[in-house]
Amino acid sequence: MKSSKINIPDLEFGNGKVLSVRGSSNLYHTTLKDFGKKKKELFYSPEAGPFTEKPFDRQYFILPRSVYKTFGRKFIEDIKKEVQRLFPLSKKIEYSPILISYDDSVQRSVYNLGREIVRAVEKNEARNGFGIVMIPKVPSKRIKEDELANLIMREMREREIYVSIIHTTVPSESYEYGELKDGSRGWKITEDYNQRGVIKGYLKNIALNKILLLNSYWPFVLKTPLNADLTIGIDIKNHVAGFTLIYKTGAETRFFVSESRDKEQLSKEHIRSKIVEFLSEEKEMLSSVNVKNIVIHRQGKLFPSEQEGVTEALKIVTREKLIPKDHKCTFVEIRETSRVPLRLFDIKVVSHIQKEYVRNPVIGTYLPISENEAFICNTGYPFRHKGTTKPLHIVKVDGNMSLERVLEDIFYLSNLTWTKIDDCSRDPLSIKMTDLRLREVAGEYDEYAYKFGEDERKEEGGGGDE
């Protein structure tokens, strides 16, 4: 068996700026070693910036009243500046959220806080939009904080408000009241050098992960297109199925969900009806592209019922003339683990000192082990991570697309590192985006306790403000 390597795709940022490691002509070139750094530079550059540029839909910022009355407005102003810094030349893009504060003086249990947040949203007649909800620390185990986040995201989605969650901890430690530059007094970022670095990174993370990605603003897309015209990532979590649709360059990426009675395996009927439903909603997009090659990425195991459901769904949308009759569909399993653990290494020779050393393989290295099966390393050199690279186990279950092209697309999609610009990603976007969105939609909480006033005192031994 001999390993091979896939070239890194060219990436397109804002204003048509393209980053290339492969040496494509008339583009912004970089070396493999500097690839991560140059991605970050272009993303924050006034000449490039994010690929997606459009006006924001209605935005909300929901925060504790205790924060609003203290450093909250200064914190939000700093977030606004961080977002606007990404669009310095655009007059049509302005991040200006509607502020809603909620009573956080109640006993700090998951369900008391959850009810106060929902009450404030309803009182302000908030509807149809996107937002950030800041939640305080719940004096209990970490799982309770996650449960509050799950509750809020689910309750807001029922009101067609799609939110990200942030916590009060870092901002609370990063702002202080004191003398400002103009001699007046007010809230400002702390003078502590280390904490200033923390809040600076925190603001960048909010702008990227909590605002831009939530609103489907993509940092960059593929200039080197996928082999597939449409890739569909599928996964299921807590009886909620997630479907991510990605077109040729990633510029058009959609996410859909559906409730399911199944825990791990989707029924043929369920997947057939949902694929037909989602593709019907894509009618306008499908009419503008020629979708001949479709690839299904299934996280983990692809069950026969799921393959049958997809196949039948594609026949239906073909009859409805949403996709051409001569389309082809390839089914792929993307497995995080393998029964036979495998690691790949790269041996680097330093000629002038006649020494060899072992390092992780270059990203894009893959090892075929059969005609339809391979291991691929989407992480590795030049990115530094602790430990050895863990390759994905890729199995082509069925279809016309060659294994090499399947692997190429998986690697290309792993280069859409939208959540961390200057890093690499083990999972392709088709799987990573599905997982991220399912965490928001499928998170669990005790609906009975929320609706009927259980306050966890028996479990936690009381409560109250910290």
The reply to whether 116 and 180 lie within a common domain is: yes
Identify the CA nearest to 135 among candidates 122, 124, 120: 120
* C-alpha–C-alpha distance, residues 326 and 316, integer Å: 14
Domain assignment present for residue 52? The answer is no
The reply to whether 89 and 25 lie within a common domain is: no
The reply to whether 255 and 389 lie within a common domain is: yes
| pLDDT for position 357 | 67
Contact criterion met (CB below 8 Å) for 49 and 13 = yes
Structure tokens at 90: 């655009």
The reply to whether 178 and 280 lie within a common domain is: no
Residue 384, Cβ neighbours under 10 Å: how many?
Answer: 10
The reply to whether 172 and 275 lie within a common domain is: no
| pLDDT for position 389 | 87
Identify the CA nearest to 456 among candidates 122, 145, 167: 145
| pLDDT for position 466 | 35
Buried-exposed string 13-30: b where 16+ CB fall within 10 A, e elsewhere? bbeebbbbbeeeeebbbb
| pLDDT for position 11 | 97
Last residue of a domain, one of 217, 252, 276: 217
* C-alpha–C-alpha distance, residues 346 and 328, integer Å: 36
| pLDDT for position 359 | 75
Domain assignment present for residue 462? The answer is no
Buried-exposed string 302-312: b where 16+ CB fall within 10 A, e elsewhere? bbebbbebbbb
| pLDDT for position 3 | 86
The reply to whether 386 and 251 lie within a common domain is: yes
The reply to whether 251 and 400 lie within a common domain is: yes
CATH of the domain at 322: 3.30.420.10
Query: How many separate domains does the chain show?
Result: 3
The reply to whether 17 and 135 lie within a common domain is: no
Domain assignment present for residue 458? The answer is no
Residue 415, Cβ neighbours under 10 Å: how many?
Answer: 25
The reply to whether 122 and 63 lie within a common domain is: yes
Q: Which domain holds residue 26?
A: 4-43
Tell me how far apart the 2 most distant CA atoms of the chain are, in Å.
Answer: 74
| Half-sphere exposure at residue 382, Cβ-oriented, CA atoms within 13 angstroms | 12
Last residue of a domain, one of 155, 186, 217: 217
| pLDDT for position 259 | 87
Instruction: Give me the tens of pLDDT residue by residue for the chain, a chain 466 residues long.
Output: 788 999 999 999 999 999 999 988 778 999 999 999 999 999 999 999 999 999 999 999 999 999 999 999 999 999 999 999 999 878 789 999 999 999 999 988 888 999 999 999 999 999 999 999 999 988 765 556 688 898 999 899 999 999 999 999 999 999 999 999 999 999 999 999 999 999 999 999 999 999 999 999 999 999 999 999 999 999 998 889 999 999 999 999 999 989 888 888 999 999 999 999 999 999 999 999 999 999 999 999 999 999 999 999 999 999 999 999 999 999 999 998 877 677 776 767 666 666 776 678 899 999 999 999 999 999 999 998 888 889 999 999 999 999 999 999 999 999 999 999 999 999 999 999 999 888 877 666 566 555 556 554 444 444 433 3
The reply to whether 263 and 157 lie within a common domain is: no
DSSP string, 356-370: EEEEPPBTTEEEEEE
| pLDDT for position 374 | 96
Q: 334 φ, ψ to 5°?
A: -115, 105
Domain assignment present for residue 449? The answer is no
The reply to whether 161 and 187 lie within a common domain is: yes
Domain assignment present for residue 373? The answer is yes
352 by Cβ neighbours in 10 Å (0-12 / 13-18 / 19+) ranks as: exposed
The reply to whether 272 and 404 lie within a common domain is: yes
Look at phi and psi of residue 289 and say left if phi exceeds 0, alpha if psi is from -120 to 50, else beta.
Answer: beta
Identify the CA nearest to 427 among candidates 252, 436, 310: 436
| pLDDT for position 384 | 87
Domain assignment present for residue 405? The answer is yes
